[in-house]
Structure formats: C-alpha cells, structure tokens
Amino acid sequence: MTPMDIGLRQLRYFLILAEEQHFTWAADRLGISQPTLSRHIRRLEDELGRTLLDRSTRHPRLTAEGHRLRDDLQLLLPQLETALRPAEPQPTLRLGYAWGFPLERGRRAQATLEERHLVLVRTVRRDDRTAGLRDGSVDAALLWGTVRDPRLVTTEILREPHVAVISRNSTLAVRDRVTWRDLGRRCLVVNTVSGTHTPRDWPADATPEIGAETSNIEEYLHAVAARRGVGVLPASVAAQHQDPDVLYLPLTGAPEAVLTYAYPRADPHPYAETFGRVLRQGRADERAPFTKNTRAASGKDTRAAVTKGPRAAFTENARAAVTRNTQAGGRGTKAGSRRG
C-alpha cells in the first residue's frame, strides 16, 4: 500500500496521539478504545515504512520521523480538511494550545459547545506564544501566562500552583519540596518559543543562569532530564507529561500559573465568546493544590502527588501518573552545583 492510500482518520489519530503523548488520553479524546488507536498507529507506520513512535518507555515518544510528520500535519491537515469540507459544514472552532491542554476543563467545555450549540471544537497544538492566533491558523487559544496584546480578547480561566521540574539525578531529588529561590541558584531550562518563564522572574539576588534553550515541551523535559538545568511547569501540565528521568516537586514561594483564553478582537469566530463563557463556568471548583503526600507505610516517597478531593483539578489517572513519576529517584552529584 502506498502513502496515497492512507486515510485522513489515521492521520488525525496520529496527530492527537502526538499531542497527548499518552495512548489512554488520546483514545479518550478520540472516543475510541486504546487497542483500536494502537492498531491504527501501527498500520500507519507499516504503510509509511517509518517508525513514528519510540515505545521503549512507559509512554510513547515521537521519533525524529514522528516529529517531522507531526509538524507537517499540524500545517497541512487543517488545510486539507478545509478543502474537503462540504458546502454547508458543521461549524468548527479551532482551539489552539502550545504545551499544556487543560484536560478536564477543556473536554467539558468541548462537550458542552458540541452538545448545546452543535459546534465542533477541534484542538490544534501549535508551538508558538499565541498557539496559532497570530497567523490565523486557529480561532481561539488556551495560553499559559498573562497575555497582553490589544489585538486579542483575553480572559483568565483558572490559576493553579507551579511545580519544580528536576532531573531524577539532581541533588534536589532527595528533597520533599523546593523553593522559588532554590531554583534561582540553579541553571534554568527555557522554552524560548512558547514558554512563560525567564530568569527575569526571579529576584536580583537569586537569578538563575540559562542552561538550555528549547522550543517545545518534549525538548524541555529532555533538557531537564539531561541535567542542563531545572524547570517550572503548571501542576496540571506536569500531570500530562511524564518522563522516567524527570521528577516533579512541590514548589513554594512561586507565582501561580495562570491559564488564559484568547481570541482575535477583529472578526472573531461566531462562537469564540460563547466558548469562553463555557470555559469560565465552575472555575472556582477546579483549584487543587499540588502538595506532598504522606509517605506510604512501605517507605516509598510519593512526593508531588496531587491532593484528592471533590474539588481536585485532575483525573484519577493524572494523579496516579504524577505519583508514579515523582517517586524518589537516585541521589545527585556534589551539592551546590548550579546544574539540574
């Protein structure tokens, strides 16, 4: 079978999996079973004659070929879908995000808009500061950080704690939590394309040096794992992105992470404002602290587990994933190093 025989469904499935980096979450977004998604991805790899995923870790990682296909599809698939769209299509809102889609809030809002207003919400990952708003490739976007752009209508959706992102081999790995100033004494990994933190966010007497510059969440975590520096992520984003060589620790003294909804002020999508209202509904029920859990009787450290309760912001799967990822790792090298 030639690449020309590949269907749009397989390409959509791959793109969602590339965004989620997790078979269960991707299958949930697509409304199919995990085995079905896995079969489609295997078939796509067979038809292309390429290995798109590295399956040697707990969660799949994109290979170089996978990254290339994802980047191409992010640009080409929306154009192809538009070209093939019927004359009177179902209204579609293209919702962009850069490196952290709010799973619970986003999915509920998607379902509400689709059920009540018959508007399809299609999520699009774009690795830039406005997640595709400035070049018009999306109609609205969910952005981490405060956005100040007079061309955009912006609304704060939620706030949540930040967590520290460190290498499992870091000297900080033996701690239960770290402070904002602790990170200022280390080198910092910076996402220069869509990130929200730079050394300027720290006080003058505890300003980190830049240890590595990255352009997306995958590069960010790989740089931290390689001890190029430490990082900072919103707690819910940490729950979505697991890496066996990375630990997430509660972070004290840090500013809160802000999630902002934005859409163009000029000629907005007819349902952009409506979707914003849906997102804001019930936001008071979604703030959950990212705190140290008590140590289990076995002595295992369950640091950075997310506090449970009726107002928790994450799913049980996300909580479990964070807990697994933040169990105590090996001790680092000589104390006092500014590396990760």
- pLDDT, tens only, 90-144: 789 999 998 878 778 888 898 888 888 889 999 999 888 899 998 899 999 999 9
At the topology level of CATH, where does 90-160+256-286 sit? D-Maltodextrin-Binding Protein; domain 2 (3.40.190)
Average pLDDT over residues 140-168: 94
pLDDT tens readout for residues 177-199 = 999 999 999 999 999 998 889 99
CA dihedral 333, 234, 236, 179 (to 10 degrees): 50
DSSP per position, 71-90:
HHHHHHHHHHHHHH--SSPP
Fold matches, 1-81 and 162-255+288-325: no
pTM of the model: 0.63
Residues 6 or more apart in contact with residue 68 via CB below 8 angstroms: none
d(CA 265, CA 75): 23
The three-class DSSP label of residue 329 is: coil
Alpha carbon 172 to its chain's center:
24
Q: Which architecture characterizes domain 1-81 according to CATH?
A: Orthogonal Bundle (1.10)
Please tell me whether residue 137 adopts helix, strand or coil conformation.
Answer: coil
Residue 151 one-letter amino acid: R
Burial class (CB in 10 A: 0-12, 13-18, 19+), 10: middle
The CATH code that applies to domain 162-255+288-325 is: 3.40.190.10
Examine the pLDDT at 39 and tell me if it is beyond 50.
yes
Please state the length of the chain.
340
The domain segmentation of the chain, as residue ranges, is 1-81, 90-160+256-286, 162-255+288-325
DSSP 8-state symbol, 283: G
How is residue 251 written in tokens?
């972070």
